[in-house]
Amino acid sequence: MAGSRFASHVRVWLIIAPLMICTLAPFIQDQAAFEISDAERASAERVLGPDKADTAVSSANARFHKWFIESGAVKASFSGSDTPTAFSDGGASEFGRGWMQHFWLTIYRALYRAAVADHWLFGAAVLLLTIFNDGSVSRKIRAASAGFANPVSFHVAAHGLMLSFGICASALLLPFSLLANWWTYVVCLVGLLCWRLAASFHVGK
């Protein structure tokens, strides 16, 4: 039963939530909601430096062009709304074209944010491995002294990690500014949850 609930949470936070954002966010009429704001760009330059910030932009441009422009996905997505018709559709084609434009802007911004977040990847991996090892040592010390850890702690930590990863996946798509320094807070939170997960894994019987 617990495994089934965990699997359902995986589907909700890592699959369903991002898909819902991709579907619903493009209905927002404000064009500015789908552009990378000056504040978001400035935060990347402030945290990463101008060179790495420019690299993130170049990486997002290259990936978007390779994956969606060269593959013909963007062109195909607009082909229906570009087809002339003899009858008025009441603005449906224009509405659909606006939705599709916002959708692709959302995807591009997600690629940009992922390119920015990538600069935290190596440091985060090293930090999390160190923290996880420390938690494992703490678990062994507690187990050797016949200590007891509430299994609820492990359960909460596992679901907290899944929630954090799901929020990160969704954050790439959210229609508002995502400041670069927020990734530091995410790494700290995930590190804390990893320590708790390792420290409470199968401790006590």
Tally the residues of the chain. Answer: 205
Task: Calculate Rg over the CA atoms of the chain.
Answer: 22
The per-residue pLDDT of the chain, averaged, comes to 84
Residue 86 lies in a domain: no
Which tens digits make up the pLDDT trace of 158-202? 878 888 888 888 899 998 899 999 999 999 998 888 888 888 776
Cβ burial of 79 (10 Å; 0-12, 13-18, 19+) is: exposed
The structural domain count of the chain equals: 1
Q: What percent of the chain has pLDDT over 70?
A: 83
**Residue range of the domain that includes 23:** 2-81+92-199
pTM for this predicted structure: 0.83
Residue 87 lies in a domain: no
Which tens digits make up the pLDDT trace of 143-153? 676 655 566 77
Which tens digits make up the pLDDT trace of 93-139? 788 888 999 999 999 999 999 999 999 999 889 988 998 888 888 87
